[in-house]
Amino acid sequence: MRIGVAGTGRMGAAMASRLLEREHPVTVWNRTREKAQALVAAGASVAATPRELASACQVVISMLTDAAAIDATYRGRDGLLEGEVRGKLFIEMSTVRPEVEQALSASVSGRGAALIECPVGGTVGPAKEGRLFGFVGGAAADVARARPVLDELCRRVEHVGPVGAGASVKLAINLPLLVYYQALGEALSLCRSVDVEPPRLIDIFADTSGGPNMLKVRGAAIAATLQGRETSPVTFDVDLIRKDLRTMLEEAAALGVEMPLTAQALERYDAAARDGFGAKDATMLPAYWLRHRRS
């Protein structure tokens, strides 16, 4: 079964390389073609357009920035939905609002194909190693068809409801994590006069109820930034965090719920982006706050 990957940015490329490593035939398409070259060298075929990708593959994964990118890739000229797609399965994995996945599912059904959503928890490393956490929305029969592919990419797959439910859970699980980066920066500002080296201090946080699981995985990188180093390669940047927070706030407005902390966190990250931090890794945010904090 040939698997297509539309969007070979950081996450899409990592997932495609995982599928190649597991010896699946893979075809890729990316808007900026050069970014797919490393995958071609690793054994992937490349499609010239999304339409060609959809026609060549039985299952197509998409991993794209946002709703606009999904719209362009699926519904644009030579888009995925212009391909020969009848009977095929799409697995949409981007982080977007539930209504985006629901509208896309209707468009895909209208072409005689099926769609499940599977936004993921975990970044580039887990994607390369098949250790993502998938939050799946879709019809049970379609999810069952997708399962062999999802199991190659995810350490855990949770089918949480129909299309849209996965997006809701994904936005929800990201919220405390994204607010936490700012909370950690503010917390560390209370320790400025404490004479403990950053690696030890972060290790203390990580071993308490004040530390999320992320600190166990990314704590060393955060400590290094506190010692003046820059996180490289960037896996989850500040601009992507701002996109996620904006998406959460749009969803909250549509649901009529208030999210004051989330709104404040977005303001902080917008300020970081204005200071030139948009393309920096999320792990640099606490150090950024300590150096640029405002009264």
Ligand X SMILES: NC(=O)c1ccc[n+]([C@@H]2O[C@H](COP(=O)([O-])OP(=O)(O)OC[C@H]3O[C@@H](n4cnc5c(N)ncnc54)[C@H](OP(=O)(O)O)[C@@H]3O)[C@@H](O)[C@H]2O)c1
31 binds ligand X (CB under 6 A): yes
Q: Which stretch binds ligand X (CB under 6 A): 24-32, 38-46, 178-186, 258-266?
A: 24-32
What's the token pair of residue 279? 């393309």
| Residues numbered 228-287 forming contacts with ligand X, rule: CB under 6 A | 235-236, 240, 244
H or E stretch at 121: strand 120-121
44 binds ligand X (CB under 6 A): no
Distance CA 152, CA 3 (A): 12
63 binds ligand X (CB under 6 A): yes
158 closest CA partner among 175, 144, 137, 176: 137
**Closer to ligand X at the Cβ: 2 or 243?**
243
Spell out a b/e string for 156-186, using b for 16 or more CB atoms within 10 Å of the CB, else e.
ebebbebbbbbbbbbbeebbebbbbbbbbbe
For tokens 């899409």, name the residue.
12
Residue of the chain from 37, 58, 65, 107 that contacts ligand X (CB under 6 A): 65
290 closest CA partner among 216, 203, 201, 177: 201
What's the token pair of residue 239? 């601009």
Map residues 194-233 to x or -, x wherever contact with ligand X holds by CB under 6 A. ----------------------------------------
Map residues 83-102 to x or -, x wherever contact with ligand X holds by CB under 6 A. -----------xx-------
Residue of the chain from 12, 79, 219, 286 that contacts ligand X (CB under 6 A): 12
- How many other β-carbons are positioned within 10 Å of the β-carbon of residue 103? 17
27 binds ligand X (CB under 6 A): no
**Closer to ligand X at the Cβ: 73 or 225?**
73
Angle at Cα 63 formed by Cα 151 and Cα 164, nearest 5°? Answer: 80
Distance CA 101, CA 103 (A): 6
Q: Which stretch binds ligand X (CB under 6 A): 63-71, 189-197, 273-281, 283-291?
A: 63-71
183 binds ligand X (CB under 6 A): no
**Closer to ligand X at the Cβ: 63 or 91?**
63
List interacting residues with ligand X (CB under 6 A): 7-12, 30-32, 35, 63-65, 68-69, 72-73, 94-95, 120, 123, 235-236, 240, 244
